Chain A
Amino acid sequence: DQQVKQNSPSLSVQEGRISILNCDYTNSMFDYFLWYKKYPAEGPTFLISISSIKDKNEDGRFTVFLNKSAKHLSLHIVPSQPGDSAVYFCAASGVYNQGGKLIFGQGTELSVKP
């Protein structure tokens, strides 16, 4: 039972355009969501997070949107740069009943072409 799903294994975008990465979840007890970027053979790098009491959080070129009724979140990267090429993971936790345990999606490989 996969509680966090990233249905697109890969995404290709032109430099300067918007990248939109999507994530769906099934567990309504999740109340904290995070996005990580990962290069091969390295640990994930934290990008941005959002609490379930918000529907949007912005940090520079990165914006995360949360739609609780649809159990869906998305990461927007504007403008996309070649250095953004990596695997992006969304993760969820239920802080009040699961502590810091993160449930990860399977990842989406983003390729930004010059």
Chain B
Amino acid sequence: KAGVTQTPRYLIKTRGQQVTLSCSPISGHRSVSWYQQTPGQGLQFLFEYFSETQRNKGNFPGRFSGRQFSNSRSEMNVSTLELGDSALYLCASSLVLGAEAFFGQGTRLTVV
């Protein structure tokens, strides 16, 4: 069974640009969550989707947004990139809300 797949693995963007990250969950999993990992703040929850609906949102500015498609695949978008957005962005999928979450390899975003 394939795991959670995130694309791209690495990305370099310039301040002010926008970026879209993609996540394909484990087959059959309907819940997708996104996390940001930085050295200073650790792993922080961004948002969670279930059945194409955002169920939960973390404490991040509106520049961070996401969506989920009918096949459970998810994308997150960050607009007007800032240097502080440089981080490892992790996607996790679970069968249903609240079940064990399985993480992808992450997308390393560097903003210059």
Q: Which residues of chain A have a CB within 8 Å of any CB of chain B? A: 32, 34, 36, 41-46, 49, 89, 91, 93, 95, 98-107
* Interface 9-residue window, one of B12-20, B62-70, B76-84, B101-109: B101-109
A93 to B98, CA, bound (A): 8
Does B4 count as interface, using CB distance less than 8 angstroms?
Answer: yes
Q: In whole Å, how far is A4's beta carbon from the nearest beta carbon of chain B?
A: 10
Q: Which residue of A lies closest to B43 (CB)?
A: A104
Contact B100 A43 (CB under 8 A): no
A34 to B102, CA, bound (A): 11
10 A–B contacts, CB within 8 A, in A order: A42-B105, A43-B104, A49-B100, A91-B43, A99-B48, A100-B50, A101-B45, A102-B35, A102-B45, A104-B35
A50 to B74, CA, bound (A): 28
Contact A43 B45 (CB under 8 A): no
Q: Which residue of A lies closest to B3 (CB)?
A: A43
Give chain A residues whose Cβ lies under 8 Å from the Cβ of B100: 34, 46, 49
A93 to B90, CA, bound (A): 17
Given the known inter-chain contacts A42-B105, A43-B105, A49-B100, please indicate yes or no for A100 contacting B42, CB distance below 8 A: no
Contact A43 B4 (CB under 8 A): yes
Contact A100 B106 (CB under 8 A): no
Q: Which residues of chain B have a CB within 8 Å of any CB of chain A? A: 4, 6, 31, 33, 35, 42-45, 48, 50, 55-56, 58, 88, 90, 92, 94, 97-106, 108
Give chain B residues whose Cβ lies under 8 Å from the Cβ of A95: 97-98
Q: In whole Å, how far is A59's beta carbon from the nearest beta carbon of chain B?
A: 12
A106 to B42, CA, bound (A): 6
Q: Which residue of A lies closest to B57 (CB)?
A: A101
Give chain A residues whose Cβ lies under 8 Å from the Cβ of B48: 99-101
Give chain B residues whose Cβ lies under 8 Å from the Cβ of A46: 100-103
Contact A43 B106 (CB under 8 A): yes
Q: Which of B88, B94, B105 contacts A100 (CB 8 A)?
A: B94
Q: Which of A36, A49, A99 contacts B97 (CB 8 A)?
A: A99
Q: In whole Å, how far is A101's beta carbon from the nearest beta carbon of chain B?
A: 5
